[in-house]
A = this chain, B = another copy of it.
Amino acid sequence: MTTSTALLTDHYELTMLQAVLASGHADRRCVFETFARRLSGGRRYGVVAGTGRVLEALRHFRFGEAELTFLRERAVVDDRTLGWLADYRFSGDIWGYAEGEVYFPGSPVLVVESTFAEGVLLETLVLSILNHDSAVASAASRMTAAAGDRPCIEMGSRRTHEESAVAAARATYLAGFGSTSNLEAGRRHGIPTAGTAAHSYTLLHDDEREAFANQLSSLGLSTTLLVDTYDVTAAVELAVELAGPELGGVRLDSGDLVSQAHEVRARLDALGAHDTRIVVTSDLDEYAIAALAAAPVDRYGVGTRVVTGSGHPAAGMVYKLVSRENSAGRMEGVAKASQEKTSVGGRKFALRRRSTAGIAQAEIVGIDERPQDDGDDRELLVPLVRAGEVVAPTDVHTAREHHAEARAELPLGALRLSGGDPAIPTRYLNDWS
């Protein structure tokens, strides 16, 4: 673990820096834009997540002696560049969609205004964080939408890199999950944590009766007993025999969850345990959650599928130079011209067009010009960094509230799980390209 985030960066950002320091163009004013060309898997909306982590990482983006020594010894860049890096502090401005905001193809989710040299260095780190966290949050939001009022618990730490796990817990909480199994996420981000016992706990004991009795005695009657180690029906009866109707919950982690949930609910009710919750946890994703909507399930524990973005582990965001000072000192839109990966040049501004009833209708993107608010619209780009200073909240709790509000504004069709068009169209104003 390192305190500096500066080397979480692609080699070529530094070689480009060396070349522009030599050529004299390092200080040209530039605008770099982060956007996604499309939404993964025909989804109806994406969720911006990671912005707060980008801002925290920016504070630690410093080339200290350890980083400079590595770069010198490996001859990554020349001495002049090392000297420049030693003094590096990002001093530009960053605008962006508030963390938790929904986004669509072409939404300018992060806009960096700085010299080329200062802005180009941030590309890799910005994209790593936004692509990961937004992929997880975009999947998680579909799951919480499918789950309705039933809480979702994130428990995928074991299925992703140990630090991604902490970020994934944060991104799922942002998107409405109620808790996580990840203790570090609890500590670092203040997210509620949850958990009781695994099959290994039951198997350690001589029999299930001993295992359950010990768990109830140590963790209390409100605990959740895992009932599918041996025979589910027998385990449910044993659980209520030992705990009585005060038993907090039972967990099912295998088998056909729909039919089992009905059977277990009927059994619990027959035993008088009407308030005992049923938690299900086996390979869930948004589709499995939707399929359980009519089953008597109280909580969903989601693992692999949410931390890996439910089939789309990276959000597909790119960080592109869209405008720069020309030799006459004037800003000029730029874009790669060849082949299929085109971008729209120019500094972007964005509004969410809303009906008088407050329902989102379109993403309006102005190029080099702010679109006109028609009275019910919402400005999407908010200041995140001014002259190098972070000016926006970086905590997940603010982002969580914002996401709930932004999602609630979408037309109902946005919550469909089937693949299709984005929930609202993106309209560019003044696009002369």
Contact = CB atoms under 8 A, between A and B. Distances in A.
Contacts of A25: 204-205, 214
> Most B CB atoms within 10 A — which of A11, A21, A57?
A11
A339 B255 CA distance: 6
A203 B338 contact: no
Contacts of A194: 11
A18 interface: yes
B197 A12 contact: yes
Contacts of A203: 321, 324, 334-336
Nearest to A309: B313
Contact of A199 (B196, B304, B336): B336
Nearest to A117: B204
Nearest to A183: B7
A184 B219 contact: no
Interface stretch (A90-98, A125-133, A379-387, A402-410): A125-133
Contacts of A9: 157, 182-184
Contact of A184 (B8, B16, B23, B184): B8
Contacts of A7: 183-184, 186-187
Interface string A306-340: 00100001100001110010110000001111111
Contacts of A200: 16, 32, 116, 120, 123, 320-321
Contacts of A255: 338-340
Contact of A232 (B70, B133, B314, B338): B338
Given A20-B214, A183-B14, A314 B1 contact: no
Given A158-B123, A321-B200, A308 B304 contact: no
Contacts of A3: 1
Interface stretch (A163-171, A287-295, A419-427): A163-171
A416 interface: no
The interface size bin for chain A is 35 or more
A10 interface: yes
A158 B214 CA distance: 47
A162 interface: yes
Interface stretch (A223-231, A358-366, A367-375): A223-231
A5 interface: yes
A210 B24 CA distance: 11
A201 B8 contact: no
A410 to B, nearest CB: 27
Contacts of A196: 12, 15-16
B214 A128 contact: no
A394 interface: no
Contacts of A320: 199-200
A70 B187 contact: yes
Contact of A22 (B18, B217, B337): B217
Given A11-B194, A181-B10, A215-B19, A229 B336 contact: yes
A145 interface: no
Contact of A18 (B21, B210, B218): B218
A369 to B, nearest CB: 21
B165 A128 contact: yes
Which 9 pairs of residues, A with B, have the shortest CB-CB distance? Answer: A12-B195, A11-B195, A127-B158, A163-B163, A200-B321, A254-B339, A23-B214, A161-B164, A128-B162
